[in-house]
Amino acid sequence: GLGPNLNQTILTMKAAAAAILFAVASHAVMDLTDSTFSDIVENSGKNVFVKFFAPWCGHCKRMKPDWDKLGEAYEASSSVIIADVDCTANQKTCTDNDVGGYPTVKYYTAETGPSGAKYESGRTYKSLDKFVKDTLEAKCTVDSPEEGCSDKEKSFIEKMKTKDQGYIQGQIERLTKMKGNKMKPSLKTWIVQRLNIFSQLVEEGKDEL
């Protein structure tokens, strides 16, 4: 009969699919190399948070799950890139950035310039996430769109300001569901940007009631 063999095939396919999903998930952290590092840090238009590591280093291995989770959390961010540099393969970049031990974590913003600044706080997901939220993530605010909003976001805010709360709640639910799907990073970024705008409009709506 087909029974056991078919089941076995399905299980194997499921395992393969899970492995592919896992591979995709762990790639939320961008791997930077000697040939790409400067370009991303200086020309991406985003703030870059980088872990310099060596594959054999115990502290790096312990930190990896939290760092990868951070990468997933900000994969669609329009203002932050979470990145890795393997110093065994990219010695020039690590030397240029004064990496003395592993892991070394640095951040690069318009203020720090291309030489970056050392991140000295905690290495748990909670600490890393707080630092990104407080220091690196530039969110578009509905009240002062001139500061951190793209033209696309500005025109979207204008359109949505006239909508009622029921419409906005419906859009939040729809976009939140979509956010879980696999898609191009640029599409996901636009979903995250719209959710950010809608959540602020909901808060404003509450104030007016």
Just list the catalytic residues. 57, 60
Cis peptide before 103 (omega within 30 of 0): yes
Considering all CA atoms of the chain, what is the largest pairwise distance in Å, rounded to the nearest integer? 68
State how far the Cα of 41 lies from the Cα of 49, in Å rounded to an integer. 9
